[in-house]
Amino acid sequence: MTRTNLWLLLLLIAGIVASGIGVVYAKYLTRAEFVRLQTLGAERDALEVSWNQLRLEEAALTTHPRVEAKARELLDMHLPRDVDVRVIEGGADGG
Protein backbone atom coordinates (compact mmCIF):
# COMPACT_ATOMS: atom_id res chain seq x y z
CA MET A 1 0.00 0.00 0.00
CA THR A 2 1.45 3.31 -1.03
CA ARG A 3 1.70 6.37 1.10
CA THR A 4 -0.98 8.16 -0.97
CA ASN A 5 -3.41 5.29 -0.56
CA LEU A 6 -2.75 5.26 3.18
CA TRP A 7 -3.50 8.99 3.48
CA LEU A 8 -6.64 8.57 1.40
CA LEU A 9 -7.78 5.69 3.63
CA LEU A 10 -7.13 7.73 6.79
CA LEU A 11 -9.00 10.68 5.28
CA LEU A 12 -11.99 8.48 4.47
CA ILE A 13 -11.99 6.99 7.97
CA ALA A 14 -11.86 10.48 9.49
CA GLY A 15 -14.75 11.55 7.26
CA ILE A 16 -16.82 8.55 8.31
CA VAL A 17 -16.13 9.21 12.01
CA ALA A 18 -16.97 12.91 11.62
CA SER A 19 -20.15 12.02 9.76
CA GLY A 20 -21.15 9.57 12.51
CA ILE A 21 -20.51 12.19 15.19
CA GLY A 22 -22.60 14.67 13.20
CA VAL A 23 -25.50 12.21 12.98
CA VAL A 24 -25.38 11.51 16.72
CA TYR A 25 -25.26 15.25 17.50
CA ALA A 26 -28.18 15.97 15.15
CA LYS A 27 -30.20 13.19 16.83
CA TYR A 28 -29.37 14.68 20.24
CA LEU A 29 -30.57 18.13 19.12
CA THR A 30 -33.74 16.63 17.69
CA ARG A 31 -34.54 14.89 20.97
CA ALA A 32 -33.81 18.04 22.97
CA GLU A 33 -36.14 20.09 20.76
CA PHE A 34 -38.83 17.41 20.98
CA VAL A 35 -38.68 17.55 24.79
CA ARG A 36 -38.97 21.34 24.57
CA LEU A 37 -41.95 20.99 22.22
CA GLN A 38 -43.68 18.62 24.63
CA THR A 39 -43.06 21.02 27.52
CA LEU A 40 -44.46 23.96 25.57
CA GLY A 41 -47.48 21.88 24.53
CA ALA A 42 -48.20 21.01 28.17
CA GLU A 43 -47.84 24.69 29.12
CA ARG A 44 -50.21 25.66 26.30
CA ASP A 45 -52.77 23.12 27.53
CA ALA A 46 -52.53 24.45 31.08
CA LEU A 47 -52.99 28.03 29.84
CA GLU A 48 -56.00 26.93 27.79
CA VAL A 49 -57.60 25.38 30.88
CA SER A 50 -56.89 28.54 32.87
CA TRP A 51 -58.32 30.73 30.09
CA ASN A 52 -61.51 28.67 29.97
CA GLN A 53 -61.88 28.92 33.76
CA LEU A 54 -61.46 32.70 33.56
CA ARG A 55 -64.08 32.91 30.80
CA LEU A 56 -66.54 30.92 32.95
CA GLU A 57 -65.81 33.13 35.93
CA GLU A 58 -66.33 36.26 33.83
CA ALA A 59 -69.62 34.90 32.54
CA ALA A 60 -70.77 34.19 36.10
CA LEU A 61 -69.74 37.63 37.37
CA THR A 62 -71.32 39.63 34.56
CA THR A 63 -74.86 38.29 34.62
CA HIS A 64 -77.51 41.02 34.63
CA PRO A 65 -78.97 40.14 38.05
CA ARG A 66 -75.50 40.19 39.64
CA VAL A 67 -74.57 43.52 38.04
CA GLU A 68 -77.91 45.00 39.13
CA ALA A 69 -77.46 43.71 42.68
CA LYS A 70 -73.93 45.15 42.89
CA ALA A 71 -75.15 48.48 41.51
CA ARG A 72 -77.80 48.63 44.22
CA GLU A 73 -75.41 47.48 46.94
CA LEU A 74 -72.22 49.38 46.15
CA LEU A 75 -73.42 52.43 44.19
CA ASP A 76 -76.85 52.90 45.77
CA MET A 77 -78.46 52.84 42.33
CA HIS A 78 -82.11 52.00 41.74
CA LEU A 79 -84.61 51.76 38.92
CA PRO A 80 -86.48 55.03 38.35
CA ARG A 81 -90.08 55.24 39.54
CA ASP A 82 -92.86 55.85 37.07
CA VAL A 83 -93.19 59.48 38.20
CA ASP A 84 -89.47 60.03 37.54
CA VAL A 85 -89.76 58.95 33.90
CA ARG A 86 -90.61 61.58 31.27
CA VAL A 87 -91.41 60.74 27.69
CA ILE A 88 -90.27 63.24 25.08
CA GLU A 89 -92.19 63.04 21.88
CA GLY A 90 -90.82 64.30 18.65
CA GLY A 91 -91.18 63.59 15.00
CA ALA A 92 -88.57 62.66 12.48
CA ASP A 93 -88.44 66.30 11.34
CA GLY A 94 -87.22 67.44 14.76
CA GLY A 95 -90.46 69.14 15.72
pTM of the model: 0.56
Q: Which residues contact 60 (CB under 8 A, 6 or more apart)?
A: 66
| pLDDT given for residue 15 in this prediction | 96
Please list, in sequence order, all residues whose beta carbon lies within 8 angstroms of the beta carbon of residue 1, skipping any fewer than 6 positions away. Answer: 9
Contact in structure between 89 and 95 (CB atoms under 8 Å): no
Plot region of 89 (φ>0 → left; ψ -120 to 50 → alpha; else → beta) = beta
- pLDDT value at position 27? 98
Burial per residue of 39-72, b for 16 or more beta-carbon CB atoms within 10 angstroms, e otherwise: eeeeeeeeeeeeeeeeeeeeeeeeeeeeeeeeee
Query: What CA–CA distance (Å, rounded) separates 55 from 62?
Result: 11
Tens-binned pLDDT, residue by residue, of the chain (95 aa): 799 999 999 999 999 999 999 999 999 999 999 999 999 999 999 999 999 999 999 999 999 999 899 999 999 998 889 888 988 888 776 55
pLDDT of residue 90: 81
